[in-house]
Amino acid sequence: MIQLNDFLYGKMELPAVFSDLLNTDVLKRLGGVHQSGAIFLVNPDICHSRLEHAIGVTLLIRMLGGSELEQIAGLLHDVSHTAFSHVGDYVFDNTAEDYHEQIFAEMLCKSEVPDVLLKYGYNISDILHGTFDILEQPLPSLCADRLDYTLRDGVHGGVISRQRARQFLKSVVLNDGKIAVNDENEAAWINEAFEKLNNEMFKLPLHLYANGKMAELIKRFLNKGLLTESDLFKTDTLLLNKIRTNYEGYQAIKAIKQLRGFDEFMRHGAVPKVKTRTLNALLV
């Protein structure tokens, strides 16, 4: 067994399969990938990791009574994110922001995960071809992935309070195997919180600048041969270190931190086109 503690869901004990999965290289790497991309360079308070989110999704599914397999799927669902998370989408001009989904199967199959799953009686195809209605739903529906990042990113970004997030969780239920809310006021609150998160964090000019300038820098270094695509599947720190070994890269990272050229970039630069998201939580 392994005990995990999360500021939203509290302490939970999970079976040994989760301990073994958390010891794989692909999941340990997520501990060094910032959930919000390069935003930490301009706002050091927003520094939570992709792994924190993945564990949160797992615990939320467990709290709601989802199967062990769906909990495993929740833990693994983001392993293919590049360094700096959605910055990878901006590097590859992926406006749907689903680059990590396109390479998910390949990355998972090349990892240690299939062997760990076999050890506990599962097959990688269970993850790749399974239906996980608690974990994932198309917009504008609520699901564990969307709910966790709304609450987690919202708290870390100062958009909502931890106390209010935990209060909301008391109203979350399953309805026909999908996440729903049993209180009309709480349903309205999460819909509004989601909109606020998008407007005040994801689309905040300061944050668009940080992620856009990082994508611009990575793309330039890829074109120059100073980086390779495989470098994007390191941790943020390792990628930053490689960029900084070049004087141009060192100065560029310094410039991002100092917000140099902010106005010019926001007027004429490759500002990320963050996809439009709305939420309409199911009320029961």
| CA 91 from centre of chain | 17
Summarize pLDDT for 178-187 with one digit per residue, the tens: 999 999 999 9
Cβ atoms of 171 and 183 within 8 Å: the answer is yes
- List of E strands, 15-96: none
pLDDT above 90: residue 141:
yes
192-243 pLDDT per residue, tens: 999 999 999 999 999 999 999 999 999 999 999 999 999 999 999 999 999 9
- Is pTM, for the whole model, over 0.95? yes
Q: Are 215 and 87 in contact (CB under 8 A)?
A: yes
Neighbouring C-beta atoms of residue 86, cutoff 10 Å: 24
Give me the pLDDT at residue 248, please: 98
Reading the block at residue 39, the tokens are: 């935003």
Confidence at residue 208, expressed as pLDDT on a 0 to 100 scale: 98
pLDDT in tens, 237-272: 999 999 999 999 999 999 999 999 999 999 999 999
Cα separation, 142 vs 169, in Å, equals 13
d(CA 89, CA 274) in angstroms, rounded, equals: 10
Residue 53, pLDDT score: 98
Q: Phi then psi for 88, rounded to 5 degrees?
A: -60, -40
Decide: 253 and 241 in contact? Cβ < 8 Å: no
Provide the 3-class DSSP secondary structure of residue 272. Answer: coil
- How confident is the model at residue 240, as a pLDDT? 98
**pLDDT at 123 > cutoff 90:** yes
- pLDDT at residue 30 above 90? yes
Q: How far apart are CA 114 and CA 24, in angstroms?
A: 11
246: DSSP letter? S
Q: DSSP for 239-265, please give it.
A: HHHHHHTSHHHHHHHHHHHTTTTHHHH
CA distance 220 to 86: 17
pLDDT higher than threshold 90 for residue 275 = no
pLDDT of residue 62: 98
Token code pair at residue 259:
């917000």
For residue 96, the model assigns a pLDDT of 83
| Sequence-ordered list of residues with C-beta below 8 angstroms from that of 185, at least 6 positions apart, any chain | none
**What integer pLDDT is reported at residue 70 of this predicted model?**
98
Mean pLDDT rounded to a whole number for the chain: 97
Tokens of 222: 């890829």
Residue 225 one-letter amino acid: G
Name the DSSP class of 2. E
- Map tokens 């989904």 to a residue: 101
pLDDT for 96-106, tens place per residue?
889 999 999 99
CB 193 within 8 A of CB 159: yes
